[in-house]
């Protein structure tokens, strides 16, 4: 059964989509559905393409996280988008619902993250450790309600599990994060959403910005639906 993936924008070089929650970005050992395979199948069917379809994965979202992803339909686009990401010229804005209220309503988090591949888990340190990578994000608290806070995040580095690990490290784990947060009921969705992306079009050189709101009707986003609907987000 082909999963329906909302297409936000498409041209000859780009494919911008909304990744559903709990779908892999790329195939792994589980054999579960993944975005790259599903979108290749969709392109093959829609355009009646023979043989293999090219689609470049230029960034990833964690499996439980939904929101915007951009894929490259040509190798030229893939190379140029990857370069923008490497040089820090690719804007990634997230929304998160965290437990508690950060003391500072806006600021910057800087940690050194180290991944344990066997456990698929990342640890955070205030100091550089052997094998660790620097992780930086800027954040702004938009609202607080029912012991939770809605936070807008400008992700400056793209480390694995970065937002989840960094907020857990400062005592404000994401709601619904089974790996780094407080154990919750399995059906509670993680409070993290890829809300906005911005980048230079790989051939037109125009700055493109796309945004897609989280599912307002689902917890924990429903705590802040009025705020989001009233345009209280986005810089």
Which amino acids are annotated catalytic? 62
Q: How far apart are CA 96 and CA 39, in angstroms?
A: 26
Q: How far apart are CA 75 and CA 95, in angstroms?
A: 30
Q: Is 165 exposed, middle or buried (0-12, 13-18, 19+ CB in 10 A)?
A: buried
Structure tokens at 151: 């936070």
Contact 195, 210 (CB under 8 A): no
Q: Is 149 exposed, middle or buried (0-12, 13-18, 19+ CB in 10 A)?
A: buried
Residue 87 CB contacts under 8 Å (≥ 6 apart), including other chains: none
């Amino acid at each position: 059964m082909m999963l329906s993936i909302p297409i936000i924008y498409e041209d000859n070089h780009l494919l911008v989509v909304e990744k559903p929650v709990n779908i892999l970005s790329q195939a792994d050992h589980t054999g579960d559905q993944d975005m790259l395979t599903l979108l290749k199948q969709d392109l093959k069917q829609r355009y009646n393409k023979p043989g293999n379809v090219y689609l470049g994965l230029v960034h990833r979202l964690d499996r439980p996280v939904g929101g915007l992803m951009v894929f490259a339909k040509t190798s030229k686009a893939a190379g140029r988008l990857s370069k923008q990401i490497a040089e820090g010229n690719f804007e990634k804005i997230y929304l998160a619902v965290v437990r508690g209220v950060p003391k500072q309503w806006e600021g910057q988090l800087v940690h050194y993250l180290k991944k344990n591949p066997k456990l698929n888990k990342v640890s955070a340190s205030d100091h550089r450790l052997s094998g660790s990578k620097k992780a930086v994000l800027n954040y702004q608290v938009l609202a607080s309600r029912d012991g939770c806070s809605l936070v807008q995040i400008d992700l400056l580095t793209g480390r694995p599990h970065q937002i989840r690990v960094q907020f857990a490290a400062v005592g404000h784990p994401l709601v619904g994060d089974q790996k780094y947060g407080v154990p919750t009921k399995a059906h509670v969705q993680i409070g993290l959403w890829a809300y906005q992306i911005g980048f230079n079009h790989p051939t037109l050189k125009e700055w493109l910005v796309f945004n897609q709101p989280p599912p307002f009707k689902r917890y924990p986003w429903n705590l802040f639906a009025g705020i989001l609907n009233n345009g209280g987000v986005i810089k």
